[in-house]
Structure 1
């Protein structure tokens, strides 16, 4: 039986825009045995797989069946013969695809396997499900059991490895294979940053980039924070989370109107580029994972506004390990309580004057909290190739 899916073919005639964007009905064959399937929820997750895919293609002939729920996924621009890309139009097709999956290995960044609609294969009990971590921070705050049904985890650091082992011991769940890979996305970002010419600012540039969760910076103290920074002379960019802009567009139009007359405040709602993030001298955030990326890529410090932490597992404290998201904050930056955001200006000025101090501290934290810096795609790809060769 073939599950009919919408598939975007890799069309080589790139001059013909209409054809290049055409959706064609194709089939993800359930009868054809596959070695490797990758599942991506949306285009934004492609970046977590790209380096691993490159290594596999360069060092093996393994065909990668890349299934995505996003018709605009970047994978459809990849013309390599080893890449077979499929767009799944809805859960109506995705659910049976997973339940009838006949592949040796499945890579995913999405946790909660078996807990909701996405299940392990019901036709094979030996599919190796591999969780590709899409962040450096703690996984103890994931939903309870989020990784229980995975066989293997590609771990970016010792912190997550310790958390997973502590979780397995606490709840008596089977031990997973933990592969010390590192974090390919950070490696890619560091290379790109080092190979880019950077702007020199006449005045410091500050970017405010909150997470998307209840009681984030925007909900709790954005205007008070901005009002305290207005006379600083800093160039200030507010870059809200794309999902919050999508859900509350009127709110950000009002903010643009309110601060329109101030020449040093920009409310940025165009998310097509990240240049403003990494060119800024200081990042202000709450619990966003962008703090790790910003600090480790640029070696510049972070100001954390101490809003309530996002927790999806209220029992996380039973694991007995303080989340890295909390413990690292004073090592790569400074923490400001919500009620003291009006003092942010003075703290930022001191941080900018201590640039070399923070650069040294952040470099130490990078080496401490990441495996295989610069080689993570290679280590991940080598594991996958070796594991699949054993199946032949």
Structure 2
């Protein structure tokens, strides 16, 4: 497998080097096939209505983007390893679009040549607590989901004396997809069936399943709810024995269900309420599906120990009481009463979420066409600079 990956990387790198500039004016890079849903709409818009050529580079040989065919589209694969490192360090392109954080901080560096890097935020979460302090420092342009991210980036630039980036009010296409899916969903349940509670937390040693998952599920089943256990895929990678122990404790219970298929959405649509911790999924769930969230107050996931320097509370914290309630892991017996309160007035809650998302998310309903137009504009700008000999 190592030799095959090495050859694949060499082949992909050679193929990219041979591309004429018309195919290197706009390059999109994906770490894995999981990124395709972030890019597919933009690529359709760029290739189609805007008539732009682009090259899609992925490190995942199973990426669905490799199967796409279009006259204005080329794709190639450079897996992780030596040739991906070389590709990043010496690639010559005008505009390089990606959702990979920590450019230049880890193994993959900025190019030695003048390349304009565009980062697409893939969630509505804050920038300064769950991510590294300098995760977003090495991009020229950031496509921001909402005003919170703009405030945080500008504040960091001010405090650290960093050059001002171009910040584009992009929005969050994934939220628009969730809204549309929620509006189209037909609930086939009969009246009187118990509410469905989906437990879908983040991952890590302090996440719900690693700290209080078994007790929480037991409490909810005892209260008469249907419970869906949906661990983060990283939990099954990092602590599979923990997930297996929690799951096996309830397998066979008529109101318990376990889901671990990546990309699965049926459990999200069927559920009436989400139980989570610090996962940004809570934002999409509440504002997209207009359903409440119960937060279990486990310790925060912090990758930036200096997050308080900005003087801005992260949205993962401030949003909690706006979209749900908070229960301590030491008081899980209170979860059932909290769920009853959260489900008591669905029409009032839906109206509140519609109002909230209008203030928290940019360009609802037209983020993709507007975002594609901005990418095309930046690509034109960089092409002009290159042809004039400017860096």
TM-score (norm 1): 0.90
Pick one of 226, 233, 248 that aligns with 2:224: 233
State the match for 1:12 in structure 2. Answer: none
Partner of 2:76: 86
CA shift digits 1:280-314 (9 cap, x unpaired): 00000001111111112210111111111111111
Aligned length: 372
Q: What displacement does 1:61 show?
A: 2.7
Instruction: Find the aligned partners of 1:271 and 1:199 in 2 and give their Cα distance.
Output: 24
| CA-based RMSD | 2.0
Shift of 1:218: 0.7
Task: Give the aligned partner of residue 323 of structure 2.
Answer: 332
1:103 is matched with: 93
Shift of 1:26: 7.0
The equivalent residue for 2:126 is: 138
- Do 1:67 and 1:88's aligned partners in 2 also have CA atoms closer than 8 Å? yes
1:372 CA displacement: 0.6
Aligned match of 1:374: 365
The partner residue of 1:28 within 3, 13, 16 is 16
1:218 alignment partner in structure 2: 209
Task: Say which of 165, 188, 192 aligns to 2:177.
Answer: 188
Aligned residue for 2:86, secondary structure, equals helix
Higher-strand-fraction structure: 1
1:18-71 Cα offsets, whole Å, 9 max, x none, are xxxxx9997222563211111111111111112211211122232221111111
In the alignment, structure 1 residue 177 sits paired with structure 2 residue 179: no
Query: Does 2:39 correspond to 1:49?
Result: yes
1:232-258 per-residue CA deviation (whole Å, 9 max, x = no partner) reads: 221100101112113333433333332
String of CA shifts for 1:153-176, please: whole Å, max 9, x gaps.
011100000000000000001000
Matched position secondary structure for 1:80: coil
Distance verdict in 2 for CA 1:199–1:117, change over 3 Å: same
CA contact (8 A) 1:333 1:358 kept: no
Question: Would you tell me which structure has more helix in proportion to its own residues?
Answer: 2
State the alpha-carbon separation in 2 of the partners of residues 156 and 255 from structure 1: 35
Q: TM-score, normalised by structure 2?
A: 0.90
Are the equivalent residues in 1 in contact too, given 2:203–2:235 (CA < 8 A)?
yes
After superposition, the Cα gap between the structure-2 partners of 1:5 and 1:138, relative to the gap in structure 1 and judged at 3 Å, is farther
Measured after TM superposition, the shift of residue 102 of structure 1 is 1.1
